[in-house]
Amino acid sequence: MKTVLITGCSSGYGLETARYFHAHGWNVIATMRTPRKDLLPNSPRMHVVALDVTQPGSIASALEASGPIDVLVNNAGIGLFGAFEVTPMATVREVFEANTFGVMAMIQAVLPQFRTCQSGVIVNVTSSATLAPFPLVAAYTASKMAIEGFTGSLALELEAFNLRVKLIEPGYAPSTRFTENGQERMQGLISEPYLPFAQSCFAALSQLSAVTHESDVAEAVWRAVHDESGTLRFAAGADAVALTQMK
């Protein structure tokens, strides 16, 4: 039985991906900063482990508790909507710590095991913001674009050890807690003179007919984990697929 470790499982894509892999017979290590076992199936194949990807000690403890794994899914991250002009650099660094450096730290921590075993898959979840420019997410997009470039290079670097590295690019998912989870961080980042522009952007988003659902991402992760064709990028959601085709 194979084991997958998924970061950021308290809601959204991570939670749905943990449920999906469990339903397909895998042993799942579902990690989150504040563990909540009630969110996931009560099963000997489901293990909820505390993990903060921005803290090296937390990463070490989580991996020790998890034991050997076959797949790492880097899903944990934080969102940020707001005008860049008024975004404190401390907030920008907070976003990069979670979305960029946290991913890198997790990979660096699991690579010795994967390399020794000559087996393993790494899946990094980014965003459709990397497929086309979107307003009011400049810092967030930068944190995800960094992982796009990093992942492409790393995939080539690890081929010699029979390790596969993949990217998942989810589209816009209004049903997730992306905005809700970042309310405090985004306080005051959309105000005059950017407010009218922001309101028009939100109105446009509310009219979208093609969006992404959590299940789209879970299924894309599943495909990526089992892909041996050398494909690097997997768009998740109707809108992300459309952007990929346009690109």
Q: Catalytic amino acids?
A: 140
**Which helix or strand (DSSP H or E) is residue 4 part of?**
strand 3-6
Alpha-carbon span 78 to 236, nearest angstrom: 18
Q: Are 123 and 221 spatial neighbours (Cβ–Cβ below 8 Å)?
A: yes
Q: Are 82 and 136 spatial neighbours (Cβ–Cβ below 8 Å)?
A: yes
Residue type, 207: Q
Quick one: which of 2, 233, 19, 34 has its CA closest to 125?
Answer: 233
Q: Are 122 and 147 spatial neighbours (Cβ–Cβ below 8 Å)?
A: no
Task: Judge if the upstream peptide bond of residue 174 is cis by omega within 30 degrees of 0.
Answer: no
Q: Are 236 and 183 spatial neighbours (Cβ–Cβ below 8 Å)?
A: no
Instruction: Provide the 3-class DSSP secondary structure of residue 5.
Output: strand
Q: Concatenate the DSSP letters of all residues of 93-152 into one string.
A: HHHHIIIIIHHHHHHHHHHHHHHHHT-EEEEEE--GGGTS--TT-HHHHHHHHHHHHHHH
Quick one: which of 222, 132, 227 has its CA closest to 171?
Answer: 132
